[in-house]
Amino acid sequence: MSTIEATSLNRARHLALAYDGHDADALLRAFIEKEFPAGIALVSSFGSEAALLLHMVAEVNRGLPVIFLDTGKLFGETLRYRDDLVRRLGLTDLRVIKPQPEAIAASDPDSLLSHTNPDACCALRKVAPLKKALSGFDAWISGRKRYQGALRQFMPVIEASGDKIKINPLARWPRERVEAEFAARGLPHHPLEEDGFLSIGCMPCTERVAPGADSRSGRWAGQEKTECGIHL
């Protein structure tokens, strides 16, 4: 662990103690306005459930940078949903991040990497571009929740992510509260949810979820892989 990463870890621990017991709204306002003014961004997939956190952030600051990873393999419905939410919520600083064309040409010229090596595809199309996009920030916001299962069931609300601080303000919220907030705020769901897609990423790695199954079981179905890598 580098000195910078150790410093980040210590700060995450301090912040976790200072904001223990704060609910998501209060936590977001504190981190956006007090702890990291001009130094924090929201990373959003504009997938299922994304509208809730986007709405909560917009209530604090509609000009907060929102980073969106356009991998080149997303559903058209996701791109249209993104544009609708940006207009609806009045977000003014959407930053669309794409992998470098030169990197794609060198590592995935036939666009089949998602089938032959999905970890390498995620590293190329998501991890590397996001790392570059976050280089000017001290902290970032994620919409992950513990009820989504797998590695997420143990995640803290505030954590160190390399040399940065990451907050997961909705980590402790149960699915029922998320659904209730969607209804109370009049938020639209991702159009693919009605068709059985409950966790929505890139087209080659996203399938419908069987009734009663975990919401993320449709991601990289049949593989041990459960995360793209940006949260590891």
- Is there a contact between 27 and 60 (Cβ–Cβ < 8 Å)? no
- For CA atoms 95, 231, 166, 39, give the dihedral sign: negative
Angstrom distance (rounded) from CA 232 to CA 127: 10
Token pair listed for 152: 């997420």
Closest CA to 61 of 25, 96, 115, 97: 25
Catalytic residue among 122, 202, 205, 228: 228
Angstrom distance (rounded) from CA 145 to CA 168: 7
* Residue partners of 12: CB distance under 8 A and separation at least 6: 158, 159, 160, 165
Q: Look up 205 and say whether it is catalytic.
A: no
β-sheet with 139-141: strand ranges across? 94-97, 66-69, 40-43, 139-141, 164-167, 158-161
Closest CA to 67 of 164, 179, 173, 191: 164
**Residues tagged active-site:** 228
